[in-house]
Every structure is written in structure tokens, then in C-alpha cells.
Amino acid sequence: MIPKRRLSSRAIHSAAVVLFSAFSASCRWTKTIQGRVTDYEAHTPLTGVAVFANQSGWGTSAGSIVWDKEYRYRSESGPAGDFILQYRVGSVARLTVDVEGYNRYVGYAEPGQRVDIRLKRLPPPHARLPGGQLRFGLKKDGTRYGWAFDRATIASSCADADVIPERVDADTRGQILISACGRGGLRVIPAESLGVQTDFLVYADTAPEEGYARQLLLDFSGRGGIVFVRMRDGMHYAKFEFQPQAFGSFLDADVKRDVAFSYVFDPGGSRYLPFEIAPRSP
């Protein structure tokens, strides 16, 4: 019988380093993303803006191999607002832009993709509007429930809700038909009209005066947008971000399908509904 050989800890460590190095080398070819940074309202280029790719992946820390080492790659926009950003770690790049006086931008881009970064100016100083995550959906017993903005809670009927689903496709990505309650109404601003890919809630501040419908079909196969809500009293307004990717949420035991979207509303009755992305922690 051939005796078994035990590998020493040093040999195991060396083998791990070799495997890590081979894996790391195979993943770290240089990728390039190009794009342009502009002011959303003025449509003018923004020069000297730092664009970062914040990546994480395998690396070493304090002499040990770690899987979540952070890597940060930087580029800067030129006179026409154009930038070229190169990075090595990871495939999809997580892009961030922080410019004083503008909402923070966070987005994702594939290697070789051209990205249009449109920065929205921060609104004038104002009291931050109440908001959070609204919910509506279908329970396993067939009960539909909607949302009351003034009480920030789910509601089972139009007597208490501002929006409530009329029809819920139980499929995870199926359509949902929602209705406005009381004297309310619904109006969608599609993502295509906003001209941005993410953070829809940032890009339209004022609820329209007219054009509200009683019902709205939410199609989770599209790109989404902003939904403005005239609340059930007909005198207050809210808006929520329809992100089709948000097709699951709280996973309550008695819920068959539940969706959750970010929203803000003004308890004072104004149609001006600015939303600010929370500043990044230092």
C-alpha cells in the first residue's frame, strides 16, 4: 500500500496562491467604458467631473487572500463632457459620480458600453418630504391591498387607500392594473420621456395639473418611469418610482404577490415633489 502524503499548510497556501493568481489573471483584462456627463436641465457638458468605477473582487489583504477587496478606478470628463474609463477588476462596472450641487449618480455599465450621465441639480433648500416604500399586491386568500400615502401604510379598500390594484397577475413579472381612489388619479411619465436609465424619482419634480387617468396598467416587461398620484381627496399629490425590476419585496407569509416602490408626497398639498438621493457616507 502506498502511504498517503499530507500537504503542509505552506504547500496548501502556495497552491491557493497559484490558483488565485491564475483566476485573477484570467478576469483582469482591461475593459473600457466611454461616456459623457451633462447637466440634465441645461443639456450642457460638465467638465472636470470625476467618474469612478467602484469594483470588488479577489485580492490580498494583510497577507491573506480575500474575495471582497475593493478597487476604485477614476476618469475625468473633458471640455465636451466626454470621458474614457478603464478598469480591470470585474465585468459590469458600478459607476458613481458626486458633484457639489447635483444629485449623486449611481449606475451600471457593461464593458464597451457608452454611457450618458445626466446630472440633476439639487432643488433649492426645502424641508425633506415624507416618503419611503409603498406596497400593494395580492394576498393568498385573494384579497387585494393598496397604499395610503398620508398614513404610510397598506389599506384594504378605497375608503382608506390612494391607489389599489384591480387586477394582479400572480406571475412574478406579470402585469398589475391599479386604480386611483376617491377623487384621485394616476399619470405616468415613461423612462423614455425622462431620458435616463436609473433613479427616475430624481428627474421630474412637479406633478402635472391635468392628464390623470382613473386606472394605470403597470407592465413589468418595460422600462418603467415615474407615476404621479393625485390622492383620494383630490388635493394632495405623491409620486412613486416604477422600477420593473422591483417585482418582489417583503415576502410576507400570507402574500401571493407584493411589489414595493420608492415614493414621496407632500402633506401640504403642493404639486412640487423634489426627491434627493441621500448623500454618500464619508
Largest CA distance in the chain: 88
How many angstroms separate the CA atoms of 259 and 109, rounded? 26
Number of C-beta neighbours around residue 197 at 10 A? 15
Q: Are residues 61 and 188 in the same domain?
A: no
Q: Are residues 204 and 79 in the same domain?
A: no
Lookup: cell for 237: 399629490
Domain assignment present for residue 280? The answer is no
Instruction: Report the relative pairing of strands 114-119 and 31-39 from DSSP bridges.
Output: parallel
Q: Are residues 150 and 111 in the same domain?
A: no
Report pLDDT for 149.
97
- Is the pTM here over 0.75, yes or no? yes
Report pLDDT for 148.
98
Contact call for residues 131 and 263 (beta carbons, < 8 A): yes
Per the structure, the count of domains in the chain is: 2
Q: Domain boundary residue among 95, 119, 143?
A: 119
Domain assignment present for residue 276? The answer is no
- What is the rounded radius of gyration, in angstroms, for the C-alpha atoms of the chain? 24
Domain assignment present for residue 194? The answer is yes
Q: Are residues 137 and 260 in the same domain?
A: yes
* Tens digit of each residue's pLDDT, the chain (282 residues): 445 445 454 544 454 444 445 445 445 689 999 999 999 999 999 999 999 999 988 887 777 888 879 999 999 999 999 999 999 999 999 999 999 999 999 999 999 999 999 999 998 887 889 999 999 999 999 999 999 999 999 999 999 999 999 999 988 889 999 999 999 999 999 999 999 988 999 999 999 999 999 999 999 999 999 999 999 999 999 999 998 886 655 667 888 898 999 999 999 999 999 998 866 544
How many angstroms separate the CA atoms of 122 and 131, rounded? 17
Instruction: Report the relative pairing of strands 163-168 and 153-155 from DSSP bridges.
Output: unpaired
Identify the bridge partners of residue 136 per DSSP, sorted by sequence position.
Answer: 259
Of 175, 164, 97, residue with least CA distance to 136: 164
Residue type, 79: P
Q: How far apart are the first and last CA of the chain?
A: 63
Q: Are residues 138 and 99 in the same domain?
A: no
Q: Domain boundary residue among 119, 139, 158?
A: 119
Q: H helices within the chain, ranges in order?
A: 9-27, 191-194
Q: What is the CATH number of the domain that holds 93?
A: 2.60.40.10
Domain assignment present for residue 124? The answer is no
Report pLDDT for 59.
80
State the sign of the Cα–Cα–Cα–Cα dihedral 150, 179, 211, 223.
Answer: positive
Of 83, 73, 76, 74, residue with least CA distance to 116: 83
Q: Are residues 202 and 79 in the same domain?
A: no
How many angstroms separate the CA atoms of 192 and 203, rounded? 12
Domain assignment present for residue 277? The answer is no
Contacts of 88 (CB under 8 A, 6+ apart): 28, 29, 30, 31, 71, 73
Domain assignment present for residue 125? The answer is no
Domain assignment present for residue 162? The answer is yes
Q: Are residues 107 and 138 in the same domain?
A: no
Angle at the Cα of 112 (from 193 to 93), degrees rounded to 5?
A: 80
Contact call for residues 34 and 115 (beta carbons, < 8 A): yes
Contact call for residues 45 and 37 (beta carbons, < 8 A): yes
Q: Are residues 93 and 165 in the same domain?
A: no
Domain assignment present for residue 40? The answer is yes
Task: Name the residue range of residue 28's domain.
Answer: 9-119
State the sign of the Cα–Cα–Cα–Cα dihedral 36, 85, 243, 272.
Answer: negative
Q: Domain boundary residue among 99, 119, 139?
A: 119
